[in-house]
Amino acid sequence: MSSPKDTPNVYTAARPPPAASVGLIGWLRQNLFSSFSNTILTLVSIYLLSLAIPAVLDWAFWSSQVSGDNRFDCKVEGACWAWLDQRLGQFLFGFYPDGERWRVILAFVLLFAALLPWLTTGVPGQRYLRWFSIAYPFIATVLLAGGFGLEQVPTDKFGGFMLNLIVGLSGIVLSLPVGILLALGRQSKLPLIRWLCIGFIEAVRGVPLITLLFVSNILLPIFLPPDVTLDSIIRVIIMVTAFASAYMAEVIRGGLQAIPSGQYEAANALGLNYWRSMRLIVLPQALRISIPGIVNTFIGLFKDTTLVIVIGLFDILGIANAMVSNPDWLGLSTETYVFVAVFFFVVCFSMSRYSMWLERRLSGQRH
């Protein structure tokens, strides 16, 4: 007789999971056919995709054409990309003189060097690169507009994607500090400053950007002294900055409100004055919280740069419009606009992915 205690434990080996719940079949069952309604959704989606994907691929690649001098050479059913080699330069540089385009490319390459130290860490020589990026706006202006021995290029020759980048980047760089000041002003204890900031923010956020661009084109010349004229690109940059900074201010205000009041009080107790407590304690935390909103505002601003066509500037969309109405290439509108859309998608999508990466990295740093 042995007590139950003495019986040796007998382990049976675990049986393998049912074949239908692992591997490819398991995945399919779990993710595509888990219920009756899901099965129907999946089948409908597959049917729609089987209609759409071959049609789009066929239009864009299989039955497209890449060579030809004008639209009469386009004899295919699908897309006609024959204009690309003739017009790509215009899409990128506008009417910038052919021989000087290396300056734009150089400015574009230097842009990455200027942006790098701010976008990530661990770049060799980060400190010196930051000095370089502070100098970059002046270097870029000289490169693009001329001076110091470079041939002058009037700004009405600027155009294409280069114009979108100029307006977008200037707006981004300028709207962040202005937005921070507006957000701080809106929280200020001084009533006059608070009301001025609220008035500005609400007025700008209440109207479409298009009306502000009309203001820059029609009213700014009326407001300025009769003998002063401002370059049209500068006027656009001013308006785009004003517009984006009002939105930026609201995003940052959200971040400021999320900071517990203990932080403000602790900064006061340490004897920091207003600007120091903001710069050292409050803003670093508030800005970190607002990163997704800030990047969304940047993306919105960059997309809004296409609006300059309504006041007669030729950004990449303006060039596309001009090409579509050109008798040589009449009727190729779908190809042209799809091509432009790809440009914006690449830039905006990578911006949003970058912000997600940054958010993940910073959330790891929080204590």
Partner 1 sequence: MINRTTLTNLWFNKRGRGYLLQLLVLLGVTTLLAIIASNTIANLQKAGLTSGFGFLGDQAFFDINQRLIEYTSQSSFGRALVVGLLNTVLVSSLGIITATIIGFFAGVLRLSDNWLVSRLITAYVEVTRNVPLLLQIILWWAILTSLPKIRDSIPVFGTLFLNNRGLRAPAPVFEPSFIWVFIVFIACLFFTFLLLFWARRRQRRTGKIFPVGLTALALVATVPLIVFFSLGQPITWDIPARTRFNFQGGFNITPELLALWIALATYTGAFISEIVRAGILSVSKGQSEAALSLGLRKNQTMRLIVIPQALRVIIPPLTSQHLNLTKNSSLAIAIGYQDLVSIGGTILNQSGHALEVVAIWMAVYLSLSLATSAFMNWYNKRISLIER
Which spans of this chain sit near partner 1 (rule: CB under 8 A)?
30-32, 34, 38, 41-42, 45-46, 49, 189-193, 196, 202-203, 205-208, 210-211, 214-215, 218-219, 221-226, 299, 303-307, 309-310, 317, 321, 324, 331, 333-334, 337-338, 340-341, 344-345, 348-349, 352
Q: Distances from the Cα of 223 to the Cαs of 116, 178, 220, in angstroms? A: 39, 22, 5
Residue number, 210 or 234, with CB nearest to partner 1:
210
Are 103 and 143 in contact by the 8 Å Cβ rule? The answer is: yes
Closest distance between partner 1 and the C-beta of residue 58, in Å? 17
The C-alpha atoms of residue 287 and residue 253 are separated, in whole angstroms, by: 10
Residue number, 174 or 201, with CB nearest to partner 1:
201
Residue number, 153 or 319, with CB nearest to partner 1:
319
The C-alpha atoms of residue 64 and residue 45 are separated, in whole angstroms, by: 27
Longest dimension (CA), the chain: 116
Residue number, 110 or 178, with CB nearest to partner 1:
178
Closest distance between partner 1 and the C-beta of residue 140, in Å? 23
Closest distance between partner 1 and the C-beta of residue 306, in Å? 4
Please enumerate in sequence order all residues whose Cβ is within 8 A of that of 100, keeping only pairs 6 or more positions apart, or say none.
150, 151, 153
Closest distance between partner 1 and the C-beta of residue 351, in Å? 8
Structure-token pair, residue 72: 């009469």
Closest distance between partner 1 and the C-beta of residue 35, in Å? 9
Structure-token pair, residue 352: 């949003």
The C-alpha atoms of residue 317 and residue 303 are separated, in whole angstroms, by: 11
Question: Does residue 81 sit in helix, strand or coil?
Answer: coil
Residue number, 123 or 311, with CB nearest to partner 1:
311
Residue number, 114 or 317, with CB nearest to partner 1:
317
Are 200 and 182 in contact by the 8 Å Cβ rule? The answer is: yes
Closest distance between partner 1 and the C-beta of residue 81, in Å? 16
